[in-house]
Amino acid sequence: MRLLPEQVLSIQQLTFGGPNAWTTVEDSVAGMMELIDSTNLDNTGRFVDYCGNDIPW
């Protein structure tokens, strides 16, 4: 898995997202790290959100 931080799309509660953003920075990063840590050959080739839900492509 290649990690390309400059290509990650995430809407967090910063100046950009404000209080109506989808998630906090902490929750977003924790979700992404959990997914990265659980990645293996059986679950690659999918688009998922930070909770691990499939995103249709």
- The pLDDT tens digits along the chain (57 residues) read 455 555 555 555 555 666 666 777 778 788 888 888 988 888 888 888 767 888 888
* Domain interval for residue 16: 11-57
| Number of domains within the chain | 1
Residue 33 lies in a domain: yes
Distance CA 19, CA 12 (A): 9
Residue 1 lies in a domain: no
What's the pLDDT at 1? Answer: 46
Residue 25 lies in a domain: yes
What's the pLDDT at 36? Answer: 87
Q: Which residues pair with 22 in a beta bridge?
A: none
Residue 46 lies in a domain: yes
Residue 5 lies in a domain: no
What's the pLDDT at 5? Answer: 55
Residue 21 lies in a domain: yes
Residue 44 lies in a domain: yes
